Structure 1
């Protein structure tokens, strides 16, 4: 099957591309390679997917370009059976500083993808959304009926993204599915996340730094679970037209996360606190009943197991992944 992955050199898009290439599919990736973080990590994602394609009788083609380039997008979509739309300007805090950029790429770029998919009769578009659409919780865990009142431009852009996908399904009959990710983590994740910061500091004998009280909670989802449900949607039409949570249901507060990571690496370290960051949600916690009912989705990796797996991977890849090692 011909699969187009937008943002396919990124963390989640890279894992999706790698998995599908390993299973013999023809993968085309479009990625703008914005230096939001070290591009060497994206290069590793590309290498992993290319290697998987070679070993799995698939194919892998990388196109460096923007999803806002209408001509290029139409050219690529014309050859695609299914699109995984993972491209986005990520980062809650950055969106507070650059809301216009986030809107241009996340919202306008999504419309460009959906319009091309409609014109070329694509079989399905799977859209990456985010738990950031919920904002301040009226109750937990979040189900899909919870009010969506995002507290950052990034959350607003993701809400617009999934609603455009829904409308394209309802008006034009384009098969779309939007997945609300809950703090995805794992190998090759973005290095500017709380988990990577905690691990890196502890490995360098520095205390983990918590922004805020540490009472904030997150539903951390291991990337293998995200990759698995995306792969299922390649052929499963059970969720067409739907918006749904895909999380871990394994809620943990940031203080406990820091303690778990510290205790795995160096229990003698103290934990340091700093001012809270603007735009960060206080709590996320997913109810995945809908995804379970429609797709049989069940998370398989709990946070403590996932942390251990990530720390092991980090140890093995410090030379190129750890920013302090890489830049020394």
Structure 2
């Protein structure tokens, strides 16, 4: 089976590429190395996937390019059986600063992928969406019927991609599935996320910094659970044309998260507070019952278990990962 992973040098895409390469699939990765964070982490993702392919009967090819390049996307989809469309301009705050760029990557790029998949008879496109499509909660946990009123250009772009995926399924018969991820974390995660920032600062003997009052809550999802959900869609047909939440077993407020990290690394540290960030959601919490029914999805870790695993991984990989961390 030939698998195309867009954004495959990034965090989730990189984990998907490594997983599929290790299992003997023929994997092609498309990534434009957008310098949203230190590119050394992407280099590490690519090399890890190459090594995985060498130790299996599969193959791995990296293509430096963008989903906005229609001709390149068309060429890469000619032999693809399934596409995992992870490529996007990430970051809620980045989208506030550069909404046109976010629309170009996240909307136009997604349409390019879907249309190339339609023309080249790709079996399925799995689209990486986000809990950002919900916006302000009318109730929690979010189920897939909750109103969608995103509060950032990023959320709007992800919701638009979902609608295009639905339309390509309904109008053209292309098999599509949209997965709404809830704040993913784990090894090789983006260094500008709350958990990686907290761990990095505490490892260096610095207090974790909270933006706002710390009462905002998040549903943090361990990356292995995200990969399991995606992997199931290699063969599972029950989810064709649908949207599903992929989240965790619980949610946690940011202050408690900071305390969990601090207490495991250095309980003597204080916790600092600074101004809240623009366009950040106040609360997220996933109802994952639909994914449970359709693809037998079941989260494997609560936040304390996952954070403990990430801290252990961080210690083992500090020599290359920590210098790349950006505390922003």
| TM superposition score normalised by structure 1 | 0.98
Q: Residue 322 of structure 1 aligns to a residue in which SS?
A: helix
SS of aligned partner of 1:56:
coil
Q: Deviations over 1:222-244 (max 9, x none)?
A: 00000011011011111010001
The aligned residue for residue 152 of structure 1 is 152
4+ runs deviating over 4 angstroms:
none
CA distance in 2, matches of 1:176, 1:325: 35
Aligned to 1:166: 166
Q: Which stretches in structure 2 are left out of the alignment for 5+ residues?
A: none
- Residue 64 of structure 1 corresponds to 64
1:155, 1:169 → 2: CA distance?
A: 21
Q: Is residue 249–residue 285 contact of structure 1 (8 Å, CA) maintained in 2?
A: no
Q: Does 1:238 align with 2:274?
A: no
User: What is the count of residue pairs matched by the alignment?
Assistant: 326
1:5 aligns with 2:8: no
Question: Which residue of structure 2 aligns with residue 197 of structure 1?
Answer: 197
C-alpha distance in 2 between matches for 1:122 and 1:325: 38
Matches within 5 A, 1:1-328: 1-323=1-323
Structure 1 residues 56 and 215: CA distance shift in structure 2, 3 A: same
Q: How far apart in 2 are the matches of 1:323 and 1:143?
A: 39
SS at match of 1:177: strand
| Contact 2:249–2:301 under 8 Å retained in 1 | no
CA distance in structure 2 between the aligned counterparts of 1:271 and 1:324, rounded to whole angstroms: 23
Greater shift, 213-222 or 51-60, is seen at 51-60
Q: Secondary structure at the match of 1:214?
A: coil
Q: Runs of 5+ in structure 1 lacking a partner?
A: none
Distance 2:237 2:123 in 1: 10
Residues 14-51 of structure 1 show CA distances to partners (whole Å, capped at 9, x for unaligned) of: 00111111111000000000111000000111111111
Alpha-carbon distance, 1:324 to partner? 6.7
Shift, 1:325, TM fit? 8.4
Paired residue secondary structure (2:80): coil
Indicate if the aligned counterparts of 2:177 and 2:240 stay in contact, CA closer than 8 A.
Answer: yes
CA contact (8 A) 2:166 2:241 kept: yes
Could you report, residue by residue, the CA deviation over 1:267-290 in whole angstroms, capped at 9, with x for unpaired residues? 011100000000100000000010
Q: 2: distance between equivalents of 1:31 and 1:245?
A: 25
RMSD: 1.0
Aligned partners of 1:296 and 1:325: how far apart in 2? 35
SS in 1 for 2:55: helix
* Alpha-carbon displacement from aligned partner over 1:190-249 (angstroms, at most 9, x marks no partner): 000011110011011110000001000000000000001101101111101000100003
For the residues of structure 2 that align with 1:77 and 1:85, how far apart are their CA atoms? 12
